[in-house]
Amino acid sequence: MADFFAIEQESPMITDAAELERLDQKSQFHPFTSIADLAKEGPTVMTSGQGVRVRDAHGRDYLDGMAGLWCVNLGYGRTEITEAITRQSERLSFFHTFNGMTSDVVAECADALLKRAPVPMSRVFFGASGSDANETQLKLIWYYNNLRGKPEKKKIIARWNSYHGSGVATASLTGLPGMHNYFDLPKGPILHVSAPYYYRDAPEGMSERDFSRKLARELEEVIEREGADTIAAFFAEAVMGAGGLIPPPEGYFDEISAILKKHDILLVADEVVSGFGRLGTYWGSQTYGYEPDLITSAKGVTSGYFPMSVCFISPKVWDVIEGAAAQTGIFGHGYTYSAHPVGAAAALAALKLIDELEVVKNVADVGPHLMNGLRDRLGQHPHVGDIRGQGLMVGIELAKDRATKEGFPPANRTGREVLKAAAKRGLITRALGDTLVFAPPLVINRAEVDELVDKFALAVGDVLG
Ligand SMILES: Cc1ncc(COP(=O)(O)O)c(C=O)c1O
């Protein structure tokens, strides 16, 4: 790996921390940021990264417990990827895939991806973000049902607390009211059913399996109420990420999949976070044993080194689309940056590293180590209500009263206080309300996991005693 901390010293750019903070604050409109908080506290400016760590403009180092935004799965400073990007930029910096065009590296990348699919898939469709990939899926679903003579079958079911992106359709699909309010969303034929939030929503004493059955009954009631001939697809993350780190209760996907099959409803696996090893299997669907008809992936495919998304399309959907091609003519969908050759080179390098470094095996080892470490240190803490997750996707939900599960008043912003305390101790986490989340690079080792747990436990103590 290159020493990116050293490269930073040679950078010709502005290095004065206060100046960088000032420039950013007066010029950038930040995504998913409170304008009021930013005005008060200013931005945190990162300047370099190496392995599982990043450094800010003040020279402070942090263990990045979030792998950026759950994406830098192979860690920072991976020269295998940066050199592949450099070589490709020099050789062929761009070419497109419209009108049957492509590039060598893209052809190879598409094949490499299909070979890694969890179930047989016919084609991959490239984009540049998880949001645009889910937009593609929605359009494909509607296209597919029109072509197979079911134009009424259009409604999409997603879950409350889900996150599927930030576009008009994908934010509508997302089950987070904070992304709907003031934006005139949701739009379109979208329905939401309950999240599989066992800790908060399961009736007292109900087993996980029974809670899964309860949710399946709710889904079936919605389908029957609306009419199965009007429902096209169900979108699901394997473990809900941005909506509160919610893993499915036991048997959830068995129950749901059976209902979807019965009613001829497509299952779209949103594997934007869970794909490429995060849960300790290559795909989240393999952890829970379900078979998607469509898969959305992004983030880990290039380990965040280049914006790229990949939709996987099953034979069931592809055969209909291909079969109608003489009638439909040009497939009227795509992006300038669909299948960017530099992204494809980054993806090929990342896929190779995932195999060579045995990243999935590492997650299967350090994931439980992280969970055990958190439970040992914080499992009995009076203000830790729940510690949950799978692989390297873990959430710690705080509670004012551990016994009754009563939360802290939202105005206290307790989760955010813990996040700030962790940052002071050199650890990056993310606060989803009062659930603190970790999704570190998948190459993290046991010693680094121990450091993460230690810093986090101290930060919880700083705020909550
Ligand atoms: C499950 C899931 N789907 C889709 C997206 C959207 O991806 P992007 O931010 O690349 O548009 C995200 C982003 O975090 C995600 O977590």
Confidence of residue 4 (pLDDT cuts 50, 70, 90): low
Q: How far is the CA of 174 from the centre of ligand 1 (A)?
A: 10
Q: What is the pLDDT of residue 313?
A: 98
Kindly tell me if the per-residue pLDDT of 269 is higher than 60.
yes
Q: Over the stretch 13-37, which tens digit does the pLDDT of each residue have?
A: 888 999 999 999 999 999 999 999 9
Q: How far is the CA of 240 from the centre of ligand 1 (A)?
A: 11
Q: Which of 452, 450, 432 is nearest to 440 (CA)?
A: 452
Q: Over the stretch 228-245, which tens digit does the pLDDT of each residue have?
A: 999 999 999 999 999 999
Rounded to 5°, the CA angle 410-411-414 comes to: 65
Burial state string for 52-88 with b = 16 or more CB within 10 A and e = fewer than 16: bbbbbbeeeebbbbbbbbbbbbbbbbbeebbebbeeb
Token output for 96: 């497109």
Residue 176 one-letter amino acid: L
Q: How far is the CA of 166 from the centre of ligand 1 (A)?
A: 8
Q: Over the stretch 98-155, which tens digit does the pLDDT of each residue have?
A: 999 999 999 999 999 999 999 999 999 999 999 999 999 999 999 999 999 999 999 9
State if residue 127 touches ligand 1 by the CB under 6 angstroms criterion.
no
> Which domains does the chain carry?
4-74+358-464 (3.90.1150.10), 82-356 (3.40.640.10)
Confidence of residue 283 (pLDDT cuts 50, 70, 90): very high
Residue nearest to atom 7 of ligand 1 (CA): 130
Strand order in the sheet with 427-428: 46-50, 53-56, 61-64, 427-428
Confidence of residue 12 (pLDDT cuts 50, 70, 90): low
Residue nearest to atom 9 of ligand 1 (CA): 130
Q: What is the pLDDT of residue 213?
A: 98
Pocket test for ligand 1, best of 69, 131, 274 (most atoms within 8 A of CB): 131
State if residue 255 touches ligand 1 by the CB under 6 angstroms criterion.
no
8 A C-beta contact, residue 406 and residue 397: no
Q: Which of 309, 196, 190, 284 is nearest to 243 (CA)?
A: 196
State if residue 130 touches ligand 1 by the CB under 6 angstroms criterion.
yes
State if residue 387 touches ligand 1 by the CB under 6 angstroms criterion.
no
First CA to last CA distance, the chain: 40
Rounded to 5°, the CA angle 49-52-53 comes to: 45
Q: How far is the CA of 295 from the centre of ligand 1 (A)?
A: 13
Kindly tell me if the per-residue pLDDT of 379 is higher than 60.
yes
Q: How far is the CA of 43 from the centre of ligand 1 (A)?
A: 22
State if residue 305 touches ligand 1 by the CB under 6 angstroms criterion.
no
